[in-house]
Structure 1
């Protein structure tokens, strides 16, 4: 990635100082948020790819890397990028806050009138960035990239399939399959989601929950510049379960439906015992089955009511930071979301 010349840097600083003197705060048109963890092989390449694509559409932009406790040279490399280009910013977390909270925190801290979210490992194609910007400028509040295919083993495919099926069955809103959250969102959409104060935000689901119009763009996953993915079966399973729990109040009510089914079976068995008594047959098995099913009815009824109460408590007590920051680089004091 080419360095800014001293003349370009001086002009940029003069412009900022002039705007501060006028009492104005100028934010970029687009902020690109890049989530990373142990991506020393990809950090510089993804920054160069983003810069090239964003400059091709004449966009006033900046880039926020958020590092989720890397143990390699990722932070060191991104800091060097920050020193060479003031448009590149860095947030370093105090620890690993997970795949939901860390990227969302960067999105909330973005200053652009639109925000693009993507990963540093090239699972999201930088080639789509100009089209994202074009559609957003045309008035579309949310544009998402949808992967056309996923090359993964049978276990990961099964987990992904199960996740989508459960969310479709129990979810409060429809999830877009193979849309990971890679896309562009208007700042108004981000502000609406931020007001929800979700402690573990399933961001791709929350985008749908807002009700804003969504357009999708299919794409093929590009090749990584280097290294290997941090995701495995267990991290993806955890992500799927957290997403399902965060986007589905219906799942917490599922035990109530099971309780209703057992209640119906209890009534059937009681009716069978009455019929057996009138016909001179043994009623013991019927009564035993009714008693057993009645106990299951009470058990699942209790679990269902408990689940509903947990959901209500969660809705009323959402008030915690998504991450704790160790440091920031290249964030001016007057940087804020438009």
Structure 2
């Protein structure tokens, strides 16, 4: 395990970050398509391929691409860090004044690079591609619809439906978000939470060019849970509200039980239910307080590296973003 670097060079206008996991059928083609678009629209570019520990030959192809074009750079993770940490880390390692994140499977069309750059040059700090429609099975579409609905209902800020993370981000935006040191970054929510000047470009998402999608139900559930944990603090306070309701129910049952006792009725049933409701309320209150404390501890202790690198190729010798806890595994 080695680290190959090149001398320092002028920062390009555009960086394109492409996360990969078992994309041997796509990685060479997506690099060729992205290079053609970047050369047409950008004043200098780099392509960063970040591999999440592929097992299908993707890494060998990435090495060949890096050997053939020094503008193509590679990061090899020492294990699979999931579909949130690895892509976000790749974005944070980019050097361009504008950074585009996109998938390797052509479902994020390279032809939109020019449109993204145009909106960014016009003043937008974040430009997101918004999927109009997608050819997917109805259970998958229903799961996405439900997930977005939950995030809209409980989230602390609005999540843009159909925005999957494909888009352009100003380098200042990325530097700001990197400084948050989120251990499990829900990036598509973070860019909205930051309140940056945001533009949206709708597009029709094509089918995957080759390979198998990694966005199955378990991946979608992971996204939803991370989004709720990171952007829906009201859920942590839900037990406190349940406690208040339970106490009101307990009070009502206690009053009814006292009235029944005065009238000689079966007061013990109502009083027993009142006790159960009161105990439930106390339990919910403590759960809410513990949840709030855990939230505060989490926000104060975000100091975990997103990934540990095994190797990086074609990066300038001085390239290492200081705001990010970066570990390179040595031989």
Scaled by the length of structure 1, what TM-score is found? Answer: 0.90
The answer as to 2:292 corresponding to 1:292 is no
Partner of 2:71: 87
Gaps of 5+ in 2: 1-5, 323-331
Q: Which residue of 216, 223, 231 maps to 1:247?
A: 231
Which residue matches 2:304?
320
Q: How many aligned residue pairs are there?
A: 317
Any stretches of 5+ residues in structure 1 without a counterpart? 1-15
Cα distance in 1 for residues equivalent to 2:216 and 2:18: 20
Q: Is the 8 A contact 2:107 2:209 kept in 1?
A: no
Secondary structure of residue in 2 paired with 1:234: helix
Q: Is 1:211 paired with 2:226?
A: no
**CA shift for structure 1 position 309:** 0.8
| Structure 1 residues 159 and 225: CA distance shift in structure 2, 3 A | closer
Give the corresponding residue for 1:221.
205
Q: Does 1:110 align with 2:56?
A: no
Task: For residue 162 of structure 1, report the CA deviation from its aligned partner.
Answer: 2.4
Q: Equivalent of 1:178, from 118, 142, 162?
A: 162
Matches within 5 A, 1:140-219: 140-219=124-203
Q: CA deviation at 1:337?
A: 6.3
1:116 and 1:132 map into 2 onto residues whose CA distance is 8
Q: Which residue of 1 aligns with 2:61?
A: 77
Distance 1:48 1:172 in 2: 40
Q: Which residue of 1 aligns with 2:291?
A: 307
Whole-Å separation in 2 of the counterparts to 1:278 and 1:147: 65
Structure 2 distance, partners of 1:336, 1:198, is 18
Q: Quote the Cα distance in structure 2 between the aligned partners of 1:155 and 1:257.
A: 33
**Residue in structure 1 matched with residue 82 of structure 2 by the alignment:** 98
Structure 1 residues 163-191: Cα deviation after superposition (integer angstroms, max 9, x where no partner)? 21221122111111110111001111111
TM-fit CA distance, 1:221:
1.1
**Cα distance 1:287–1:170, how it changes in 2: closer, same or farther (>3 A)?**
same
Cα deviations by residue, 1:138-174 (Å, 9 ceiling, x for unpaired)? 1110000010113323432232222212211221111
2:326 alignment partner in structure 1: none
Let me know the Cα RMSD of the aligned residues. 1.7
Which sits farther off after the overlay, 271-280 or 84-93?
Answer: 271-280
What is the SS of the residue equivalent to 2:123? coil
CA distance, structure 1, for counterparts of residue 277 and residue 253 of structure 2: 9
Q: Which runs of 4+ in 1 moved over 4 A?
A: none
Q: CA offsets per residue over residues 36-85 of structure 1, 9 Å max, x none?
A: 10001100111111111111214311000000010111111111111111
Distance 1:96 1:214 in 2: 31
